[in-house]
Each structure stands twice: as C-alpha cells, then as structure tokens.
Structure 1
Amino acid sequence: MSQAHQANTAAPTLVAPGFTCGLDATLKIISGKWKPLILYFLLRGPTRYGELKRAVRDVSDKVLIQQLKELEADGVLRRNDYKEVPPRVDYTLTQLGQSLAQALEPLCTWGTENMAEMQKIFAERDSWLREKQA
C-alpha cells in the first residue's frame, strides 16, 4: 500500500484523550435531562436553589441536587455558601460555564422559532404511537 493511501485511510486523531470530537466533550458535560436548562437559567446571574427549582419545572429535588453537584465537579458552576443562619446558598456560572451556556443560546432561539412546528410533530408522533399501541 502506498504511503499516500495510508495517510488518507489513517484513523481520525482524537481531540483529547477520551473524546472523539468537541461535541463529544460538550455532551459529556451537558448530558442529563436538566443540565442545559440549569445552565440557561444560571446565565441570568447568581441564582438560589429555590429559584432554580421553580425555573426548571418538573425536576425532582434529588435530580436537581445531583445535577448541580455534577456541574460543580465539572467546573461549570460554583456553589456559594454564605455561612449564614438561615442558610443562604446560590449558584453562579464559572467562566467556562458562561461560555458553555452562551453556546446553548442558539439552540434556545431555534426552539423558540420552531416551537409551533415541533408541537405539531410531537402531537402527530403521539397519535401515531397511540394507534400503534391500540
């Protein structure tokens, strides 16, 4: 086999150990049903737990706490405990978290612009699934 052919068929290089590409790295951080919403709402500024709970509707306390801890461990957000009585804690995005949340904004815009179409598609899919189950 020629050297030119070998160069063309070489396996793609990894972006970093453990990641196949930049999207893979991003998805590892935002994987989880609620993490993108948490990041989006934290983009507004420091947010207390109760405010996040109200903003991210339908999330359980257990899952919200778990996903906040994971995002903190990933260096995306910071938990600020003010060591007061009664307890006061809020969450803020780190610089890394701000850049990630800003990268999600175009997805939010796309969702807003296409919401009516998505509602039609999901309603059609739900009716198709109901017919199939019947």
Structure 2
Amino acid sequence: MKKLVRKLALIYIKFAQTRDEPIEKIAQTFVLYLHEEKKLWLWREIIKEVHSVWKKEYGYSDIYIKTAQTISLETKRILEKKFQGADMKIDVLPELMAGAIIQVDDVYLDGSIAGQLSRLEKFLIS
C-alpha cells in the first residue's frame, strides 16, 4: 500500500507541476480518478505523502505567516520566491500589536509583541 500511495502522490505532484490548469481543477480530476478506481479511501495518506515529497524537493511544504500589519507587495514577492513551491498563507492579525508569527512546517517562531508579553507574563507568574 505504501508504494501505491507514493506512486499516486508522485503522479499528483507531476500533474500539478506540468499542467496549466488551476490546482483546484487538477485536484478535482485526481479525486474523481481515485473514486473511479475505488481508491478514494487512500486520500489522506496520499496528501501526507504529497507533503513529504514536496518537503524533500523544496525543503518545506507549508508556510503560515501571521503579521500585525499588511505586508508590502515587494515583501510578499520576496517570500513567494523564497518559498517557491510551498503552500503559503499570510494573515493580518492586529492583536499581535507588532512583529510576526511564522510557521514553516513544524517549526514555529513567535516574534510578535503579543507573544513576548505572554512569555513575560508566564515568567513573572512562575
């Protein structure tokens, strides 16, 4: 089963990299294929394998950035270039006050004022 999951993940990635269609359309076609082949039950394992293969190829697969203020288009372009191939999401959360929280796959970095205040509070309480 592991070999089949890997093979299907590699097929999905190859299609995503080589087709001009939107990724949503590619995903829909892939899910329909899995359904027709009675392999839809493998979907979760295939997604895990896609992330694993993507991470090996690009060094990361998921990037989540929370900022206190909207980032400039230039900064966004730099991030997209740096993390090319990764699934990147950027949210503006004013409650962070200043700074940012960045999560790259399993690594979580909190450089926000809200995070610093929270750590200070925990330190003072203990």
Q: If each structure's strand is expressed as a fraction of its own residues, which one has the higher value?
A: 2
How would you bin the TM-score normalised by the shorter chain?
Answer: under 0.3
